[in-house]
Amino acid sequence: MSVLEIIPWIVASAVLLSVVWIVLVSWRNGISPMPTSKSVRLAVAAEVNRTLGYGNIIEAGSGWGTLGLDVIRHCPGKRLTGIENSSLPLWFSQLLTVLITHLLPAAVSRESLRNRVYFKRGDIYKYSYGDADIVLSYLFPGAMKRLAEKFKQELPPGAVVISVCFALPGRQPIRTITCKDRLRTKVYVYAY
């Protein structure tokens, strides 16, 4: 077998291993790194913009980084830290950030994004939300149940939680937005 014949096998194995890896981590987490749609991302950005001025955003489970990057593009003055424990989506989000902030033309306002968005490895159940002004999430009911208690104990007064699809148990949202996507996705907003 020649080197040229081996390359497709190596690529196919790498793709297969990546898929298996993502599936295994998703199984452990209880959720896959499914990204939000564009209309949901814009609805979340509009909610973030209701908090005026500077703000520290924590995205609990940042996946491929598309929500975080869109929010930071549409929300001047905000800084976002994405927390993710699935390696492949995390590396993709970090690569996308480098591409957008360093390589793409100024037309996508790379200067305004630089140093305002950061994706890092972490566990959303161990991370401290004590300095968050806004928390973003798109998780699942079990995760919201675990985070509800943590948010109650750690979030500073005035902080806002914006959750895509899933409500925080035992707490009344101050607003519920129905997005214009095909699934009419709901976004829940909570004030602390």
Interface positions with ligand SAM (CB under 6 A): 29, 31, 33-36, 59, 61-63, 66-67, 83-86, 89, 123-125, 138-139
Q: How many CA atoms lie within 13 A of 112 on its CB side?
A: 14
Question: Biggest alpha carbon distance in the chain?
Answer: 65
Q: Whose Cβ is closer to ligand SAM: residue 59's or residue 133's?
A: 59
Q: Whose Cβ is closer to ligand SAM: residue 147's or residue 159's?
A: 147
E runs forming strands in 71-133 = 78-84, 117-121
Minimum CB separation from ligand SAM for residue 10, in Å?
Answer: 26
SS (H, E, C) 122-189: CCCCCCCCCCCCEEEECCCHHHHHHHHHHHHHHCCCCCEEEEECCCCCCCCCCEEEECCCCCCCEEEE
Minimum CB separation from ligand SAM for residue 158, in Å?
Answer: 23
Query: How many Å apart are CA 123 and CA 62, to the nearest integer?
Result: 11
Instruction: State which residue has the least CB distance to ligand SAM.
Output: 61
Q: Whose Cβ is closer to ligand SAM: residue 124's or residue 144's?
A: 124
- List residues bridging with 177 in a β-sheet: 187
Minimum CB separation from ligand SAM for residue 2, in Å?
Answer: 39
Minimum CB separation from ligand SAM for residue 1, in Å?
Answer: 37
Q: Whose Cβ is closer to ligand SAM: residue 113's or residue 162's?
A: 162
